[in-house]
Amino acid sequence: MPEFVPCKSLCYKCRTILTKENTCPYYLKNGGYCYKCKREKSKAEYNKYKPKVSAYQKIYRKEHRQMIIKRRRQIKLTLFSHYSDTNPPQCANLYGIHEKPFTILEALQLDHINGGGYKEHQRLGVSGGDGFYRWLIKNNYPEGYQVLCANCNWIKRFKDSEHANLLGEVI
């Protein structure tokens, strides 16, 4: 009587014997596809559904984008109102360049009073803008920040020599 030999798993498509080198452990145990055929199958499925998914994503992003913009604006308004002590928020006008209160929210920026914002963002692991604003709100509005317009912020940056590059050299 011949010796019993266990049946080897074969690729469903190309019928090659599945080994550790040409397939994943799950398919090796349960049967399935070799890497080459699995890649071809995945590409075919991706291309089959791509137009449908792309259309859905475009609609979703368009509708969702307005909600994100509104939410970010509300976060910025809340945060800047707190740090400027006025509603609507306005520039602290450190250098007296504004005759009237400057309240254009899109041109207002949050300034680190003692400088060092880049290093602080690195230390906290957040990027500037939205992520940092959420961190400030979550941490109960810590001290050391003020609201400035973009012009005042740049003037302060140059007057206080905050414009050094990463090596600490003045540009």
The ranges assigned to domains in the chain are 65-159
Q: Is the pTM of this model over 0.85?
A: no
Q: How far does Cα 145 stand from its chain's mean position?
A: 23
Q: What percent of the chain has pLDDT over 70?
A: 89
Q: What percent of the chain has pLDDT over 90?
A: 28
pLDDT of residue 5: 41
Q: Does residue 28 have a pLDDT over 80?
A: no
pLDDT in tens, 4-13: 445 568 888 8
Burial profile 78-102: b = 16 or more Cβ within 10 angstroms, e = fewer: ebbbbbbeeeebbbbeeeeeeeeeb
3-state DSSP of the chain = CCCCCCCCCEECCCCCECCCCCCCHHHHHHCECCHHHHHHHHHHHHHHHHHHHHHHHHHHHHHHHHHHHHHHHHHHHHHHHHHHCCCCCCCCCCCCCCCCCCCCHHHEEEEECCCCHHHHHHHHCCCCCHHHHHHHHHCCCCCCEEEEEHHHHHHHHHHCCCCCCCCCCCC
With beta carbons less than 8 A apart as the criterion, state whether 108 and 79 touch.
Answer: no
pLDDT of residue 110: 92
| Mean pLDDT, rounded, of the chain | 84
Q: Does residue 51 have a pLDDT over 70?
A: yes
pLDDT of residue 171: 46
Average pLDDT over residues 134-140: 93
